[in-house]
Amino acid sequence: MYLLTLGLNHTTAPVAVRERVSFPGEGLRDALADMRGSLRTLMPEGAILSTCNRTEIYCATESPGEVPPALSGWLSQRQGLAAGQLDSHLYVLPNGQAVRHAFRVAAGLDSMVLGEPQILGQMKEAVRVAQDAGSLGTHLHQLFQRSFAVAKEVRSTTEIGAHSVSMAAAAVRLARRIFEDLRETRVLFVGAGEMIELCATHFAAQHPKAIVVANRTIERGEKLARQFNGSTLRLNELPDSLEKFDIVVSCTASALPIIGLGMVERATRARRRRPIFMVDLAVPRDIEPEVARLDDVFLYTVDDLGKVVQTGVESRRAAVAQAEAIIETRVDSFMQWMSARQSVPLIRQLHARGEALKQGELERARRLLARGDDPAAVLEALAQGLTSKFLHAPTSLLQRPGDDRDSLVRLIDQIFPGRD
């Protein structure tokens, strides 16, 4: 069995491409079921990791040469893209490279925000979905469990996550460039997930005039708003309320934009040239990209914030090197496990062959005992028969002419230690 990863991320594809291949919300379950139905014969094990920064398919297969084009074709067809449209953005990682990549992703080394912890939770959720779908087998299960263990080791023994600038902190930093005093601003958060909660925490520390949460599920929005003494808004109230806010941060799992160009145009006219600072952390995007062309609107995407959070990477170069060394050691260990797994069918064959020989000699011994032969002689014949049959194959190999006799001698020394 071979491991293989196919995907794209923030280093190979811009957000405009990533949003077209992501699987937000319940779309992940449907996509996994479709992939399993279409490609099960090629890849008996499969999992999909889809976040704002990456869409990756992890699989175990006996046909590593056939899987990449099949997966690429399935992904393009599933997302309504032309064949080959993704080729320049996709990477294919076989076996050891796939293992190293999974370990680096889990540890936050492959993230836009170096060392960010959110990716580990997202990977665990992807594994849970795959497990529920029945698409995790021995190999992928072991890969992900080892990935989680490596992530824990890296985070607990290195400073990889220290002094990092989060997306939320970057958003606050950019907002300060637009507004002199954030205490005079009204902030709207669209969504109520983990990323929005993190952003709300950072903005609340600036003591804005008002914090409002708009969410599809009003109860979840109210729960988040209460943490920051804020209020809530229904999504269908956004068109009439957007003009009231100076700062808008959005991150939902919607497949289509929630805030359109027309909505923002009306809001800017009502605000009479007062600026609006907007942050779209969602993939697919929540805010139509054309909004960025409007005067007095400052729209930043997840990729824009990614450039801001790169600060401080140089100061953590030693921690990165330490983390990479840990990962290399764990990759070697995992590949040894994989190699041992390749021997399992052969070991089963050996056991089956040995069992067949044993049963054959036992049946012969029982027949001899049944006709009244001397038990001691029967035992002697049983031992002689088993010994002869077990030694027949190695003896025959040693008697064959060839250049590999020395290798056979060393191998037999290992199988039968203690030979004089």
What positions carry a catalytic annotation?
A: 52
Composition of the chain by helix, strand, coil, percent to 5: 60, 15, 30
Dihedral sign, Cα of residue 393, residue 395, residue 400, residue 403: positive
Buried b (16+ CB within 10 A) or exposed e, 23-48: bbeeebeebbeebbebbeebbbbbbb
Residue 20 phi, psi (nearest 5): -85, -15
- What secondary structure letter does DSSP report for 211? E
- Give the residues across from 91 on adjacent strands: 7
Three-state SS at 176: helix
355: exposed, middle or buried (Cβ count in 10 Å: 0-12, 13-18, 19+)? exposed
238: exposed, middle or buried (Cβ count in 10 Å: 0-12, 13-18, 19+)? buried
CB atoms within 10 A of CB 350: 11
- Give the residues across from 247 on adjacent strands: 187, 277
Distance of alpha carbon 252 from alpha carbon 341, whole angstroms: 42
Distance of alpha carbon 334 from alpha carbon 107, whole angstroms: 16
Residue 401 phi, psi (nearest 5): -70, 145
> What does each C-alpha distance from 41 to 37, 44, 60, 71, 248 come to in angstroms?
9, 6, 11, 12, 47
Residue among 9, 226, 238 nearest 104 (CA) = 9
Distance of alpha carbon 133 from alpha carbon 30, whole angstroms: 10
